[in-house]
Amino acid sequence: MLPSMRGPVALVGAGEFLDTMNEFDRSLIAATGRPRPRVVILPTASANDGEAVFLGWAERGVAHFSALGAEVEPVLVRTVAEGHDAAALQAVGEADLVYLSGGDPRHLLRVLQGSPLGAALVVAHERGAVMAGCSAGAMALVGRSMNFWSLPRVPLPMPFPMRWQPALGMVEGVVVLPHYDAVPEAFSACIALQAPRGSVPLGIDEHTAVVGRSGAWQVYGAGRVTVWRGRRRERFRRGEAFRV
């Protein structure tokens, strides 16, 4: 059983800041317990895609959550050096909800673990802030992350055995397979079966999310969440709950 979590953790397969996720994101805002919560958008995972892409994700996040009634601030951290910025750390420290958007999971963890920004996220979560991550952002929040994928494109040949690296550990004992319905399941199954010992892989479809606290998880969105327990596979849809 997973250890108790202070704030809810939301793991999204893909589709951040789209209208299809409005209902789900309203639930995240409600989970803060504040009528107008402070939301931080962290687009760090997309920094290697170019400045226009990076700023575009920040702008979409601000527009999306502002329209839902939140007070929104983008934290424009691209590099390890920028992860030391006092204003960025203060914004995370004051946030009621932090949303990590998608991109390159390796770059995101490199910045978070190489600067005080990762520790600031953990502290914010421990005091009760809602933590949400989409795709690479979701991979960063859990116990371990694949260290070769640049999502959603998968380089070939696949490395065997699969390599995993420590992530932020807000949800120990779980690994995330985002974009689950966008790749052949036979491929995803190979990854799931190589998950670190004791870990439960969660295959999260696009436009789909799962929210957990203290080991109890509930599914939101249009698709399914596939839970791998060894070689046994379970499927869960919107409104259904499970434990890991």
How many domains does the structure of the chain reveal?
1
pTM of structure: 0.93
Name the residue type at position 70.
A
Query: Model confidence over 16-75: pLDDT tens digits?
Result: 999 999 999 999 999 999 999 999 999 999 999 999 999 999 999 999 999 999 999 999
User: What is the extent of the structural domain holding 160?
Assistant: 9-243
Residue at 166 is within a domain: yes
**In a domain? residue 1:** no
> 225 with 235: CB under 8 angstroms?
yes
**Is residue 133 helix, strand or coil?**
strand
| CATH classification at residue 39 | 3.40.50.880
Q: What is the 3-state secondary structure (H, E, C) of 37-103?
A: CEEEEECHHHHHHCHHHHHHHHHHHHHHHHHCCCEEEECCCCCCCHHHCHHHHHHHHHCCEEEECCC
Please indicate, yes or no, if residue 226 is contained in any of the structural domains. Answer: yes
- Ramachandran angles phi, psi of 47, nearest 5°: -60, -35
Q: Looking at the domain assignment, is residue 155 inside a domain? A: yes
For 141-173, what is the HEC assignment? HECEEECCCECCECCCCCCCCCCEEECCCCECC
Any domain includes 3: no
β partners of residue 226: 203, 235
Round to whole Å and give the CA distance between 7 and 218: 15
Does residue 170 lie within any of the structural domains? yes
Residue 184 lies in a domain: yes
| 4 band by pLDDT with thresholds 50, 70 and 90 | very low
Structure confidence by residue, pLDDT tens digits, 99-152: 999 999 999 999 999 999 999 999 999 999 999 999 999 999 999 998 764 444
* Residue 69 φ then ψ, to 5°: 100, 10
